[in-house]
Amino acid sequence: KNQVEQSPQSLIILEGKNCTLQCNYTVSPFSNLRWYKQDTGRGPVSLTIMTFSENTKSNGRYTATLDADTKQSSLHITASQLSDSASYICVVNGGSQGNLIFGKGTKLSVKP
């Protein structure tokens, strides 16, 4: 069964600290893996997309990694800011139209 599992479910960190969110997937075939940020009451916004051949991709203070062999990805946030408080969703594209498998998300709270 195609699944995307994220951990932790929720996380609280202090402003300025770093954190890493995890994503494990069993989706096959694999086309790409995406990370989205969803602020409360808003729609998700794309952070990164990585294909099979990409190991690392950065978007400002966000760095995503992908290990296609172990089917694991991580999202590292550097020097967190209050505005990073959001849910972070890992999504795997199985390659066919409409075949996006969404994780349940990690809720990150950044405290001053």
Partner 1 sequence: NAGVTQTPKFRVLKTGQSMTLLCAQDMNHEYMYWYRQDPGMGLRLIHYSVGEGTTAKGEVPDGYNVSRLKKQNFLLGLESAAPSQTSVYFCASSYHPREKLFFGSGTQLSVL
Residues binding partner 1 (CB under 8 A): 4, 31-32, 34, 36, 41-46, 49, 89, 93, 95-98, 100-105
Q: How far is the CB of 14 from partner 1 (least distance, A)?
A: 27
> Among residues 3 and 56, whose Cβ is nearest to partner 1?
3
Compute the distance between CA of residue 5 and CA of residue 59 in angstroms, rounded to an integer.
Answer: 22
The whole-angstrom separation of Cα 85 and Cα 96 is 32
Least distance between partner 1 and beta carbon 86 (Å): 13
